[in-house]
Each structure stands twice: as structure tokens, then as C-alpha cells.
Structure 1
Amino acid sequence: MTGRTPDTARLLPWAGPEGKPCYVLGDGTGYVSRVADDMEGVQLAMAAELLDHAADMLDDRQVTTPQLRYVVARLAESLGDVHRIARSRGERLAALGPGPDV
């Protein structure tokens, strides 16, 4: 991302000890930032696959309550990942300042 200062903090897509947020400082081009980019891509792809699976389960009249509870738990985990990614990207966009008027 261009226009970032070297001391920009990025919320990482994983939690630290005790579930606390992890951040990296930098311009977004370092090793940890690249790993975070890759992890976000994996998390978003998994969320899309999980949504498809949940839709299939909802169409299946034979699905059991434990199966639905399991998929809802995975959906909640995935939503947490996607929310963290959105927060991280929003913070980085805000750090760039206002964009040009469209």
C-alpha cells in the first residue's frame, strides 16, 4: 500500500496470547505483512467455502441438529476472522487519509 509511513500499525489476522490483538509496525512490505496478507486470503477463501457449505446444509432436509450447530460454530469463527480483516483494512485506509472526491 503506497502512502503509508514506516510507523503505521497493522492489525494482524491472528490473536496473540490470551486472545489479545497483534500488530506489526512497518510500511506493509515486510515478511510479517506478507504472511498476514496470505493468511487473510486463506481466511477469506475459507469463509466463502463455509458459506457454500452452510447453504447446502440448509437445503438438506436430512441435516441433524448437531451438524447445524457445528456449522454455525464454524460460521461464527469465520465471521470473527472476516471482521478482524475488515477492521484491519479500514484502519489502514483511514491512515492514508481522505481519498479524492469521486
Structure 2
Amino acid sequence: MSRHFPDDARLLPWTSPDGKPCYLLDGSGTGYVSRLADRVEAEQMSSAGEFIVEARRLLVGRAWTPGEIHLLAADLNDHLVRVHRVSRSRGARLRLLIDGPDEDGGDEEGEGAPPVA
């Protein structure tokens, strides 16, 4: 039997130890975990912005080794995953503020929150 998260569940900017998404079920946005998640999201976005500058510098120099390019690709992927998670979380919260929850519990594309294991 699987359960679904309420429409106002917040996707957190970190995963469980086994890589599964973490959600905050209290939608008030004022609690300790919400504030911690806000800080982590801000740090992740700032770190991604700094890494863009570093990646651009490396690519413009055109003096890289295959190992440097591999490391750059891995780091870019890590930052992209984090930024994507933040954008999904913020987008879902923004849609909820603007549109309110759908009657069926999902978004406009028919995707609800993932089931709880």
C-alpha cells in the first residue's frame, strides 16, 4: 500500500542516505527545517554560480587534460542536480501559492508527489 504526500509537501534540497527524495510535510514554511532548507538552497545556488565562473575560466583557457574535463563534467552534473532540485521545489511551492492545490492531488500534468515507501 502506498501513500502520497499532501499537495503542500516541500521537496527538500537534500536526499536520504539511500538517495531518495526528502519532503517536509509541514507547509507553514516558518519552522526550523524550512529555514534550514532555505539556507541550504541559497548555499547551493550560490555555489553553482561560483562554479559557473570557474568552469568558464577552465573552458576558455583551452589548456585542460582529459582528467580535468572529466572532473569538470562530474562537478557540473552535481551542481545541475542540486539546482534542478531547488527549481522543482520552488516551482511547486510557487504553483501552489498561485493556483492552489488541484482537486486530484497532482499538478497540471497529472503527476502527484512520489509515493511513500
Tell me which interval the TM-score lies in, with the shorter structure as reference length. Answer: 0.7 to 0.9
Within the alignment, does 1:24 sit opposite 2:24 as a pair? yes
The structure, 1 or 2, with the larger RCO (C-alpha pairs under 8 Å, 6+ apart) is 2
Q: Deviations over 1:59-93 (max 9, x none)?
A: 11321110111011000000000000000011111
User: 1:1-102 counterparts in 2 under 5 A?
Assistant: 8-26=8-26, 27-98=28-99
Moved over 2 A (4+): none
Pairs aligned (count): 93
Larger helix percent: 1
Give the share of equivalent positions with the same residue, in percent: 48
Equivalent residue letter for 1:39: V
TM value normalised by structure 2: 0.74
* Structure 1: unaligned runs, 5 residues or longer: 1-6
* Structure 2: unaligned runs, 5 residues or longer: 1-6, 101-117
TM value normalised by structure 1: 0.84
